[in-house]
Amino acid sequence: MNNKVLPLVMMLFIFGLATGCTEIPEPKTPSYETTLDATEDRNSAFEEFFPIHYQTYLQNNDDSQMTEYGGSVPHEKHLCGDLPQAYKYCQPYLKNLWTGYPFSFEYNRARGHTYAVHDLLDIDRLNRYSEQAGLPSTCWNCKSNKVPGYVQEYGDDFWAMEFHQFREEHDLEDHTIGCNVCHDPETMDLRITSVPLREAFEKIGIDLENATRNEMRSYVCAQCHVEYYFQDPKFGAPAKPIFPWTLGLNPEEQYEYYKGFGSTTREGFEGWFIDWTHPVSDTPMIKIQHPEFEMWHDGVHGAAGVSCADCHMPYVRLDGKKKISSHRWTSPLKHIEQSCLQCHSDKQPDYLKERVIYSQERTWEQLLVAQEISVKAHEAVRLASEYQGSRHADFNQLMIQARERIRKGQMFWDWVSAENSAGFHNPAKALEILAKSQQYSQQAVNYAMQATNYAIAPDLEGDIYEIVPPIKEHSRKLQMSQEHLDSHTWLQYLPKFEEADLIWDLNQRVR
Amino acid sequence: MKERAAVSKSAVLAILLVGIVLTAGAGFTMKATDQAEFCGSCHVMYEAVRTHQQSVHAKLDCNDCHTPDPFIPKMTFKTYAGMKDMYKNTLGQVYDVIHASEKTKEVVNDNCTRCHAMTTLNVETVKPFCTDCHRQVPHMNKLPIAQRRVADE
């Protein structure tokens, strides 16, 4: 018996010595060496080196699942109804509030990165009925992984080039947001390819070269999930994308920022930046786009150093053993176990989901109220500007003030509306912004009523949905029809487009 | 007679010697396999050992918290846990996120009170687990992921 036990004990002893004395390394990322070219931009080229990462990347193709307020079905955001075209949480006034701006033609819920180029080429915001897209090549900036190459080739001339000229160069799958946007193809180290992020960080003193791994796990997302604008030629390369961050990352500061960087001579708004002039209220407007990074950075998670990747790229063990970062960017509510429970290990998934919805429900309710008052503000200024009776002595000044409040009120709700977490990334901030938005828009209504000595007040009484019905349908094609433009009071402020046929179907010329 | 006595004497001596070696070996092995250096020899435990080493409990063994203290329950618990972990690591699947079992939570909690009984002597503790308040103790799981984990582990 001893003859059997002794070797066993010895073996255990040796096993213990051999394996049990290893030092545990610092959390140092594994290093890679590929044989890929430094300028490689085809997503498929990375597949053979990183097959399981690529497998999770392809999971972005699932666009069938919704969560309560988020998800991946690309429904029209203003349409109320059933999926896949509409949804129960809709913002019915979006087309009204963006009248005269391309966003009134089409604006859908975002879905996986793998669809970025497809959806860019399919959207009605870019004019596919003309040789001129009407929007610059800057629109490629956060969709195409060929942009680093284009910037190399054309420099700052790239931004103002014709958007359509690059359509045919794009493969819908190989050139959509992919590996090279965040990774150095040779070493796979995290990298920032975005021109506007590099320049914005330089201006506000963030040193990218010394960024920690934790910071980079958010910065790679901040390349695109931020508010931006296209540069006015007066200030440098035309249509170059800029992040308006030099005064701060919050809406009050961004609003102050946009009191510059424009070239308008309009009274009361001299030198202010203008995205478009709302034709109904004749207001110089600001459009806000997906400020995820700005919303997150001082929220409960962001301020605690919890990165975008912590929740959106949780570690998964596809082979049941080694961890890799999931490259499926979607709502973490679809995988609470992996995303949330790695920190909130003492909570149940249902509890965590309810906490998310707790914030989102309240944010959503106030967002809709803010949009209703915003519509009322546009309507009030429209009525006031057309009012023929006896005006206030300071009519012109009051109308300038009213339009400034419309601009601010709308910029504020847009900050929350365009942000993709329905308040969760920063619940207190989201609700504060919406409260302020409601105040600013109401001030606009007040100024407009005062300017007319309250003569327009009776026209603004009652349910706003009856005074100004939501515009349910609008598109470039519909704007070619007089009948459509006559169908809503607000649409009558738009010019009729020339009849035209589609020239582009995705990346192919059809005419 | 004389010969038989000599044989049985040396046999007793040999058995005794083997017994001592076995006991010492077992004792050493028990102690060695309680420690972070041993537990951390599987990559899936790197995060746990890493955060343990940065913590105020760094000088303690993993099993000062993670197994019962009395000898017999410790033996059985350790055997079972070790077998289960080896199975998961070889033939089984490791979870994306590894959580303590209910049994482990109880064992760990008993060990909190075992060492810290004097601190709580005059107060009533109402939460089920000590770590419901002392939340950084379960491996600093409120730290950003980058400070705890990397790929390929």
pLDDT in tens, A144-170: 999 999 999 999 999 999 999 999 999
Longest dimension (CA), chain A: 113
A324-325 and A315-316 beta bridge pairing: antiparallel
Q: How confident is the model at residue A270 (pLDDT cuts 50, 70, 90)?
A: very high
Tell if the CB–CB gap between B153 and A307 is shorter than 8 Å.
Answer: no
How far is residue A117's CA from residue A123's CA, in Å, rounded to a whole number? 10
pLDDT computed for residue A320 by the predictor: 86
Share of chain B above pLDDT 70, in %: 98
pLDDT computed for residue B152 by the predictor: 86
Q: Which two tokens stand for residue A77?
A: 């955001």
Q: Which two tokens stand for residue A207?
A: 């040193």
Smallest CA–CA distance, residue B149 to chain A, in Å, is 6
Q: How many helices (H) and strands (E) does chain A have?
A: 18, 8
The end-to-end CA distance of chain B, in Å, is 65
Residue A19 has pLDDT above 80, yes or no: no
Share of chain A above pLDDT 70, in %: 95
Give A214's contacts in chain B (Cβ within 8 Å). Answer: 144, 146-147
DSSP bridge pairs for B11:
none
Residues in chain A: 511
Chain A residue whose CA is closest to B47:
A27
How far is residue B62's CA from residue B81's CA, in Å, rounded to a whole number? 13
Q: Single out the residue of A164, A158, A147 nearest to residue A239, CA to CA.
A: A158
Q: Single out the residue of A192, A183, A247, A177 nearest to residue A222, CA to CA.
A: A192
Tell me, yes or no, if A2 comes closer than 8 A to chain B by beta carbon.
Answer: yes
Tell me, yes or no, if A414 comes closer than 8 A to chain B by beta carbon.
Answer: no
User: Residue type at A130?
Assistant: S
Mean pLDDT of B78-82: 96
Cβ atoms of B97 and A338 within 8 Å: the answer is yes
Axis-axis angle for helices A195-204, A213-222 (nearest 10): 120
What's the pLDDT tens digit per position in A48-101? Answer: 999 999 999 999 999 999 999 999 999 999 999 999 999 999 999 999 999 999
Mean pLDDT of A457-476: 98
pLDDT computed for residue A180 by the predictor: 98
Q: Which two tokens stand for residue A73?
A: 């079905």
- CA distances for A427 relative to A178, A295, A414, angstroms: 30, 9, 15
Q: How confident is the model at residue B1 (pLDDT cuts 50, 70, 90)?
A: low
Longest dimension (CA), chain B: 77
What is the pTM for the complete model shown?
0.94
Q: How confident is the model at residue A12 (pLDDT cuts 50, 70, 90)?
A: low
Residue B6 has pLDDT above 90, yes or no: no
Tell if the CB–CB gap between B150 and A342 is shorter than 8 Å.
Answer: no
CA dihedral A217, A219, A223, A225 (to 10 degrees): 80
Q: Is residue A176 classed exposed, middle or buried when 0-12, 13-18 and 19+ CB atoms within 10 A define those classes? A: buried
How far is residue A417's CA from residue A409's CA, in Å, rounded to a whole number? 12
Q: Which residues of B lie closer than 8 Å to A, measured between beta carbons? A: 18, 22, 25-26, 28-29, 32-33, 35-38, 40-41, 43-44, 46, 49-50, 53, 89, 92-97, 99, 131-132, 135, 138, 141-153
Q: Residue A389 in 3-state DSSP?
A: coil
Give A217's contacts in chain B (Cβ within 8 Å). Answer: 145-146
For the stretch A90-119, what's the b/e string if a residue is b when 16 or more beta carbons lie within 10 angstroms of its beta carbon?
Answer: bbbbbbbbbbbbbbbbbbbbbbbbbbbbbb
Residue B3 has pLDDT above 70, yes or no: no
Residue A271: left (phi > 0), alpha (psi -120 to 50), or beta? left
Q: Single out the residue of A167, A96, A154 nearest to residue A126, CA to CA.
A: A167
- Which among B49, B93, B138 has the least Cβ separation from residue A345? B138
Tell me what ipTM this predicted complex has: 0.90
pLDDT computed for residue A4 by the predictor: 66
Residue A297 has pLDDT above 90, yes or no: yes
User: Residue type at A129?
Assistant: Y
Q: Helix %, strand %, coil % for chain A, to 5?
A: 45, 5, 50
A324-325 and A504-505 beta bridge pairing: unpaired
Residue A248 has pLDDT above 60, yes or no: yes
Q: Which two tokens stand for residue A266?
A: 């309009």
DSSP code at position A49? T
Q: Residue B94 in 3-state DSSP?
A: coil
**Distant-in-sequence, close-in-space partners of A454: CB < 8 Å, separation ≥ 6:** none
Smallest CA–CA distance, residue B18 to chain A, in Å, is 8
Angle, alpha carbons A104-A151-A39 (nearest 5°): 120
Q: How confident is the model at residue A27 (pLDDT cuts 50, 70, 90)?
A: confident
* Chain A with chain B: Cβ pairs closer than 8 A: 120
Cβ atoms of A490 and A496 within 8 Å: the answer is no
Mean pLDDT of A354-368: 98
Residue whose structure tokens are 């900036």: A141
Residue B38 has pLDDT above 90, yes or no: yes
Tell if the CB–CB gap between A19 and B38 is shorter than 8 Å.
Answer: yes
pLDDT, averaged across chain A: 96
How far is residue A444's CA from residue A450's CA, in Å, rounded to a whole number? 10
- Which among A6, A25, A213 has the least Cβ separation from residue B146? A213
Tell if the CB–CB gap between B144 and A212 is shorter than 8 Å.
Answer: no
Rg (CA), chain B: 21
What's the pLDDT tens digit per position in A301-319? Answer: 999 999 999 999 999 999 8
Residue A235 has pLDDT above 70, yes or no: yes
Q: How confident is the model at residue A25 (pLDDT cuts 50, 70, 90)?
A: low
Residue A14 has pLDDT above 70, yes or no: no
Q: Single out the residue of A329, A369, A5, A321 nearest to residue B42, CA to CA.
A: A321
Residue whose structure tokens are 């391309």: A102
Residue B2 has pLDDT above 80, yes or no: no
Residue A13 has pLDDT above 80, yes or no: no
pLDDT computed for residue A22 by the predictor: 55
Q: What is the per-residue DSSP string for A2-27?
A: HHHHHHHHHHHHHHHHHHTTPPPPPS
Q: Residue A421 in 3-state DSSP?
A: coil
Collect contacts of A8-17 with beta carbons under 8 A, ≥24 apart: A9/B22, A9/B25, A9/B26, A9/B29, A12/B29, A13/B25, A13/B28, A13/B29, A16/B29, A16/B32, A16/B33, A16/B38
Give A28's contacts in chain B (Cβ within 8 Å). Answer: 150
Tell me, yes or no, if A3 comes closer than 8 A to chain B by beta carbon.
Answer: no
**Distant-in-sequence, close-in-space partners of A32: CB < 8 Å, separation ≥ 6:** A49, A187, A188
Q: Which of A50-59, A269-278, A379-388, B125-134 is least confident?
A: B125-134
Tell if the CB–CB gap between A342 and B145 is shorter than 8 Å.
Answer: yes
Q: Which two tokens stand for residue B37?
A: 């250096």
pLDDT computed for residue A1 by the predictor: 44
What's the pLDDT tens digit per position in A224-234? Answer: 999 999 999 99
Tell me, yes or no, if A346 comes closer than 8 A to chain B by beta carbon.
Answer: yes
At residue A220, φ and ψ (nearest 5 deg) are -60, -35
